[in-house]
Amino acid sequence: MSRLLPLFAVVVLLLGLGAVPAQASPIPQGFHWGVSLSGFQSEGFAPDSNWRRYVEQGTSAIKHPYRDAVDFRHRYASDIELARQLGVNTFRFGVEWARVQPRPGQWDETELAYYDDVVAKVRAAGMTPMITLTHFVHPGWVVDQGGWVNPRTVTDWLVYARAIATRYRGLGALWITFNEPTQYRHHERQNGGVGVFEAGTMMTNLVAAHRAGFDVIHEVDPGSRVSSNIAYLPPPLQGFADADFLNRVGDKLDFVGIDYYYGLSLDNLTAIHGASGEFWKIAPQPDGIYYALKEYQRQYPRLPLYIVENGMPTDNGARADGYSRAAHLRDHLYWVQRAMAEGVQVIGYNYWSLTDNYEWGDYRARFGLYTVDVLTDPSLTRRPTDAVAAYRETIAAGGVPADYVPVRRPAWCVFADLRTCLTRPPVR
């Protein structure tokens, strides 16, 4: 009998998920409830940039013409009002380097004034600005000098970062240096902006820019919080991605920014559709956000975590599985709150995105709380999905209730935690 005790102890350890409290912790005061969007994807009227050139060249990633996206450039006041009505207290947007600095050493005062007004309206609505400095896009003149393969681009980007941080210092802004650096590199490779043997150099320069940019922003905007959001990939891919960027900047982060969309488990291998850009065919795995948060808290125990992006694509507004945007939102927040109940320090959650936008080559995959039919509706009317009311109610209530039962059941044999091959985490 005594020989069986160690084996029993190992089994109990492996089945340790059974001890997880099956309740969602309420969201504390001071939590960042937010929405996200980016410059090129939403603004329209794109200046010369790498992505405008990709669209004009018709690279393999381009399925639809860009047009003027959802025209956030001229409708930002009403879009910010939509966010205010949701009850969010944080508004993430991107400043487009190509828009404010169309040529080396030349600043466009009209476009800087536009961003000044965006920031002013965000703050007047009672929201904290979360400002992304680079979201996959850089000016055409940077392309002409070799893009991120040229170390000079690091110097030029730091001049830009200093100028924007100085302009909006003292406002309590949250700063994102680079949106999803590994995906940034992927887009450049896919569209021909970076050669296969140049990819490593691009990442080295992005790392250098973030590290120096972190110090620059803190120099000009003391007390601000700075990070770079990483795209969470199902294990074991995440380990390789983190080695490329996150592990090289871990000492230059004020919080770990996480973009969570998809998980991977033995009963859900649909993430493979991401390779073809058919994101709406991927079966969402809400409990995966719990494992992502737990893993990054283990890796960075001294840093808080922030879900900078989370959302669900539809196929032109529909999903074959019938899973609603409202259920997707609540299910993910349930698992965020479960992680918080276990002591994971989560300080914010942004929904991606406020409106539909240009999904890096097409308008078919729609992520918006408000849907916009760019291809057939010249008025670009913002139409609320069922998640608008769901998000408003959830924010007002301080999260999903403790007795909430997710619509989507936990996955089996999750790659991020193989203990789930033996038992799923309880939900009630």
pLDDT at position 11 over 70: no
- In the chain, the percentage of residues whose pLDDT exceeds 70 is 95
Residue 22 is predicted with a pLDDT of 67
**What mean pLDDT is predicted for residues 124-141?**
98
User: 276-292, pLDDT tens digit by residue?
Assistant: 889 999 999 999 999 99
Buried b (16+ CB within 10 A) or exposed e, 141-169: bbbeebbbbbeebbebbbebbbbbbebbb
pLDDT at position 18 over 50: no
- In the chain, the percentage of residues whose pLDDT exceeds 90 is 90
Count Cβ atoms within 10 A of the Cβ of residue 44 and give its class: 0-12 exposed, 13-18 middle, 19 or more buried: buried
User: 116-125, 313-322, 414-423: which range is least confident on average?
Assistant: 414-423
User: 205-227, pLDDT tens digit by residue?
Assistant: 999 999 999 999 999 999 999 99
Per-residue confidence at 235, pLDDT binned at 50, 70, 90?
Answer: confident
Per-residue confidence at 178, pLDDT binned at 50, 70, 90?
Answer: very high
**What mean pLDDT is predicted for residues 288-313?**
97
d(CA 378, CA 148): 36
User: 381-391, pLDDT tens digit by residue?
Assistant: 999 999 999 99
d(CA 307, CA 289): 9
pLDDT at position 16 over 50: no
Alpha helices in 139-279 (DSSP H): 140-144, 152-167, 181-191, 199-220, 237-244, 246-249
**CA separation, residue 310 to residues 111, 195, 317 (Å):** 29, 30, 17
User: 22-26, 39-43, 159-163, 300-304: which range is least confident on average?
Assistant: 22-26
Please, what is the average pLDDT of the chain? 93
**What mean pLDDT is predicted for residues 184-190?**
97
**What mean pLDDT is predicted for residues 190-199?**
96
pTM over 0.85, yes/no? yes
**What mean pLDDT is predicted for residues 30-49?**
98
